């Protein structure tokens, strides 16, 4: 199996990015503003608190606790809201692959409706919503902006504890997941954790449209009559579109200021970054959010709502990661591609592909454009999928153009496309590379059909040239298609292939396929082979642990993988640790990059550190030290190269 193809098979994972990229392009990034700096306060450290008298500290804390969410029913607070999100899909090798932004301005009204025990019921209303482009002008209206504007015209009811923990949201009937997440992401900016004890620092849990996160909160020095809290997100505990939380890094801060005479938030400033590692093709999703909420007026109003009904009304999760989203974006995308494909036929597109692939150097952007056109032709017309299958089967399409066509079928993912890929895979008269490309293309399917999975399972259990690829892809698709056509579990079917794999001396492939399931069921099979006499088997066993959700997997990689006598095995353990998010895994990578006796292993560790390194981070510092002080010149040179990327 070719090395590149094998690498893709071993690192495959589900990838779902549901970001509304209305404004894409390669414009120069705006200079970062001083949003957080303008409202930041001097941190009141623990030492400073201890120097104060105990009584004084308790009085300050008591006032803070009692004053943050004490506004009486009828209090109405009006805010000016500005929310700017920038998104980038980044390849370590190729740089920025795609970018976009979403800039929202609005007026927000919060009305306190009722209180009970330590809980508050409030109504949130958005008005004067505007969506802006990079030039500050409103973007042209489209289906998405119309949908979000319509959602903003509906009220949202909020249940929040007096420590700032949001307990639930109640949306108007009829809103879909996209609309709810737009409201959720915008309105939750106007909530913030509040102190409940005299502690200067404490940890809290929160939620947003990405998922659930842990955060560190710090009480700050503030003006008289105010309480300021700084929040630093530490890590996500659950993230949208991922069964296991992927490797990610959070940077930046948010600051909320409470005005005690009002008993509510007065301002919020936020400047936060999220970088998420996406194992497919070594991509990273980078998001920066800069937001401000500023109080502009207050009133008292009479409450005439049915408060009892609102208390008992159905609420939804605060986090938006379980919403069914993407509907409006998909509809807008389909409409756009219908317009783009006017006059484009399969014949003209194939001629264009031949022209692109026949030129050197290859125009990657033009190839991607033709690929996108082909996958959308397949989505719109089942006959296109059938025709491509026939041309591949009769060898009218070969080489790179056949590979492009098969990959487009996988990206389209329609029933006709899946049937065509299954037929190509089953045609043993075709060259191995063609059949294997069809197998690899299945990795793009969000919902593989049970019949297709049954075909993969059958091929994985029969010794022929396509067995390894079928087994690896079978494991990777297990989390998206848990059952075969006959009702058997994919995991059970794959685990039952262990004995046959051992008999034909192919345990490494079986272990890697099991590891591709990325579930708790991987831990037992992988652990059995960590002491195998064959280094290739041990290496595969450690690789299989890379995405196992249990923390025990990281422990095994550190305690046994990094101490294996064979450098090849240690390198496999290092690569696996690069996919883990535990603090112990990160520390072990830094130690391996410095202390391992094998230069190749140190280089491997440095490469993994570079995937998540940011300026000023411990990872970056380790790479810088290696560039200056490593005992091997090849390692020093490699570290310098990483620093320049």
Residue 31 to residue 103: CA distance in whole angstroms: 15
Name the E strands within 240-282.
Answer: 248-259, 264-278
Evaluate if residue 36 carries a pLDDT over 80: no
Name the β-bridge partners of 316: 169
Instruction: Name the pLDDT band for 555 (thresholds 50, 70, 90).
Output: very high
Q: CA Rg, the chain, in Å?
A: 28
| DSSP code for 404 | H
Given a contact cutoff of 8 angstroms between Cβ atoms, the answer to whether 184 and 320 are in contact is yes
User: What pLDDT does 140 receive?
Assistant: 87
User: What pLDDT does 166 receive?
Assistant: 93
Evaluate if residue 40 carries a pLDDT over 50: no
Evaluate if residue 127 carries a pLDDT over 70: yes
Evaluate if residue 92 carries a pLDDT over 80: no
Evaluate if residue 325 carries a pLDDT over 80: no
Q: Mean pLDDT, to the nearest integer, of 620-638? A: 96
User: What pLDDT does 67 receive?
Assistant: 76
Evaluate if residue 404 carries a pLDDT over 60: yes
User: What pLDDT does 447 receive?
Assistant: 86
Residue 271 to residue 70: CA distance in whole angstroms: 27
Evaluate if residue 487 carries a pLDDT over 90: no
Average pLDDT, the chain: 85
Angle at 381 between CA 335 and CA 427, to 5 degrees: 140
User: What pLDDT does 285 receive?
Assistant: 85
User: What pLDDT does 485 receive?
Assistant: 81
In the chain, the domains with their CATH numbers are 33-325 (2.30.230.10), 522-645 (1.25.10.10)
User: What pLDDT does 254 receive?
Assistant: 96
Instruction: Name the pLDDT band for 15 (thresholds 50, 70, 90).
Output: very low
Evaluate if residue 55 carries a pLDDT over 50: no
User: What pLDDT does 199 receive?
Assistant: 85
Residue 383 to residue 423: CA distance in whole angstroms: 15
C-alpha 70: how far from its chain's center? Answer: 37
Evaluate if residue 306 carries a pLDDT over 90: no
| Percent of the chain's residues with pLDDT above 70 | 86
Evaluate if residue 95 carries a pLDDT over 80: no
The terminus-to-terminus CA distance of the chain in angstroms comes to 30
Q: How many CB atoms lie within 10 A of CB 140?
A: 9
Per the model's pLDDT, the better-predicted residue between 281 and 436 turns out to be 436
């Amino acid at each position: 199996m070719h090395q590149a193809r094998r690498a893709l098979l071993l690192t495959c994972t589900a990838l779902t990015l549901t970001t509304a990229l209305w404004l894409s392009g390669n414009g120069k990034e705006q200079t970062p503003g001083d949003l957080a700096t303008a409202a930041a306060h001097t941190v009141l450290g623990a030492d400073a608190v201890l120097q104060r008298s105990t009584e004084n500290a308790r009085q300050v804390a008591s006032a803070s606790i009692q004053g943050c969410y004490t506004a009486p029913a009828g209090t109405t607070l009006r805010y000016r809201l500005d929310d700017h999100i920038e998104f980038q899909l980044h390849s370590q090798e190729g740089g920025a692959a795609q970018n976009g932004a979403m800039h929202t301005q609005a007026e927000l009204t919060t009305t306190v409706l009722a209180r009970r025990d330590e809980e508050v019921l409030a109504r949130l209303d958005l008005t004067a919503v505007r969506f802006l482009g990079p030039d500050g002008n409103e973007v042209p209206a489209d289906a998405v902006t119309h949908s979000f504007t319509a959602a903003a015209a509906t009220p949202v009811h909020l249940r929040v504890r007096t420590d700032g923990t949001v307990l639930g949201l109640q949306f108007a009937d009829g809103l879909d997941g996209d609309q709810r997440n737009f409201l959720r992401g915008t309105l939750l900016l106007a909530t913030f954790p509040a102190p409940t004890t005299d502690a200067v620092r404490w940890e809290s849990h929160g939620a947003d449209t990405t998922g659930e996160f842990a955060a560190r909160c710090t009480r700050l020095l503030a003006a008289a009559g105010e309480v300021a809290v700084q929040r630093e997100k530490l890590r996500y505990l659950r993230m949208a579109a991922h069964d296991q939380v992927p490797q990610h890094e959070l940077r930046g801060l948010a600051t909320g200021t409470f005005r005690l005479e009002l008993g509510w938030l007065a301002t919020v400033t936020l400047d936060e970054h999220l970088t998420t590692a996406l194992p497919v093709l070594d991509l990273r999703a980078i998001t920066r959010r800069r937001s401000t909420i500023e109080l502009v007026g207050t009133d008292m109003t009479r409450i005439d709502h049915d408060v009892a009904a609102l208390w008992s009304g159905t609420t939804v999760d605060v986090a938006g990661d379980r919403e069914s989203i993407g509907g409006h974006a998909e509809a807008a995308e389909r409409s756009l591609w219908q317009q783009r494909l006017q006059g484009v036929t399969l014949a003209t597109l194939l001629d264009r592909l031949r022209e692109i692939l026949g030129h050197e150097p290859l125009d990657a952007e033009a190839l991607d454009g033709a690929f996108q056109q082909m996958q959308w032709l397949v989505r719109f017309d089942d006959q296109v999928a059938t025709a491509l299958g026939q041309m591949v089967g009769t060898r009218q399409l070969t080489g790179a153009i056949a590979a492009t066509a098969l990959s487009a079928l996988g990206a389209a993912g329609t029933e006709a496309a899946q049937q065509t890929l299954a037929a190509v895979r089953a045609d043993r008269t075709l060259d191995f590379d063609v059949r294997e490309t069809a197998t690899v293309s299945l990795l793009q399917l969000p919902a593989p059909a049970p019949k297709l999975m049954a075909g993969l399972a059958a091929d994985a259990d029969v010794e022929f040239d396509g067995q390894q690829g079928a087994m690896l892809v079978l494991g990777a698709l297990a989390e998206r298609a848990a059952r075969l056509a006959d009702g058997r579990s994919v995991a059970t079917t794959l685990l039952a292939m262990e004995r046959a794999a051992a008999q034909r001396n192919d345990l490494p492939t079986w272990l890697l396929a099991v590891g591709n399931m990325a579930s708790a069921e991987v831990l037992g099979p992988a652990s059995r082979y960590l002491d195998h006499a064959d280094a290739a088997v041990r290496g595969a066993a450690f690789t299989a642990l890379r995405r196992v959700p249990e923390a025990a997997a990281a422990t095994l990689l550190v305690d046994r993988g990094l101490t294996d006598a064979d450098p090849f095995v240690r390198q496999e353990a290092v690569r696996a640790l690069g996919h883990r998010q535990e603090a112990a895994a990160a520390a072990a990578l830094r130690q391996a990059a410095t202390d391992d006796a094998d230069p190749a292993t140190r280089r491997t560790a440095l490469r993994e550190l570079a995937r998540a390194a940011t300026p000023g981070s411990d990872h970056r510092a380790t790479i810088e030290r290696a560039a200056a002080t490593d005992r091997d010149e090849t390692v020093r040179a490699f570290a310098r190269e990483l620093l320049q990327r």
